[in-house]
Structure 1
């Protein structure tokens, strides 16, 4: 009789956020696959649960090599419990490859639902959450390209980012999506030093420049419906900000057109009108 794969949602910070089902799953599992064995043992200690199953590491550097052994264990009738350091497996954490392998092998996949930084940040952000998209970790290179692809995304967007790259990421987001786009930085969710900072991308970039620590989840409002209502002076200032960030005049105007939904001629005329008049000869 085939075993099964159980995905266990680990607490983000407070052990009390998970219920008795995870405790039971940890106690009953034949194999416990985890990102970090030290964190697993700490979690077991916090939850006051004793497990007798075999413990194996399962993180991005070893997950491919671990798949055959874990699938073989489930095919032999064993239950494999997969937990990550925090939150639900597979959500920007190891897990997808094992789920896919289990599904392909005809093995049952189930879960013990638990906390998720994505939905927790979205819920406390105060931004629209009836529709949203999760973009995972921002790329280390090409962030502006990634944000450009999301210029017209109407849904609220959720990202993960490391604390030492947050300031640059916010600055890039402000340059592409607009300084005044509403956003929320959620830091250390559910933990002792939890902090939720709301503002605009521009103000948050300035705040983060002083240095930020902890686990970060970034929530950004979607693109406004219809053309953005800006004065000619404000449009010219948007183009100037793009140029200051290194864009050519042509590319800067194109970026503002895409961001605002306004005709190119309107933005171009605003830039021309903002030019100082030539000096007069006396």
Structure 2
């Protein structure tokens, strides 16, 4: 079985001879941020973090996606944060792409390696540190948690993707599978962050059109992705940002697997007042 790979941004700047044309695009229904955009001069410093820089990929924007924020974060040796989350009502998912990090949540320590996944509930106390000799890169997804009557706040946990069995999608003979880190029927969770895997040549065989917003970070491989009425080429390291009801589908291009980390908001009634 082939070991999964995870693309992490490296920063730097292209040479002066590089053409300006790229795949970056912002449209009413979606945004594509290709990996070539993740350069040194577009990073942000995060308050409360040391030896750390972040590429902010998504944030609530009026008239567009509003439920979440997503970052690509690089922590240098000796860096991290003892107070990473400034808002008590915000939950997070961390997914480690490269390097090694030590996560301490509510007094329990976890060693995260590439493929490490951690859910951090709203109100939890956590810290993150890089105690190694090389930089570490991870995806960080944040959402304001919506409590639900008669349901307790979900508990923190950390796992390795390699230890979670992907579930084949119905009628696909395993060509399309989803790695789910929480029970989709557990209404206490108001967001899902899954890994979606396509074998070479596999497809989403219809244009999904639904209420969930998406953040899609390509972990591995390449594909042609249908976004609204456009077909867009994507590859490992690209980020896609989809508003609600944006039609979507894809063809996996091969020669290897096409895999991405997928955020979506779930399990809550639509607020009208």
Would the TM-score normalized by the shorter structure come out above 0.5?
no
Kindly indicate which of the two structures has a greater share of residues assigned to strand. 2
Determine which structure has more spread, i.e. the larger CA radius of gyration. 1
Q: TM-score, normalised by structure 2?
A: 0.29
Q: TM-score, normalised by structure 1?
A: 0.29
Kindly indicate which of the two structures has a greater share of residues assigned to helix. 1
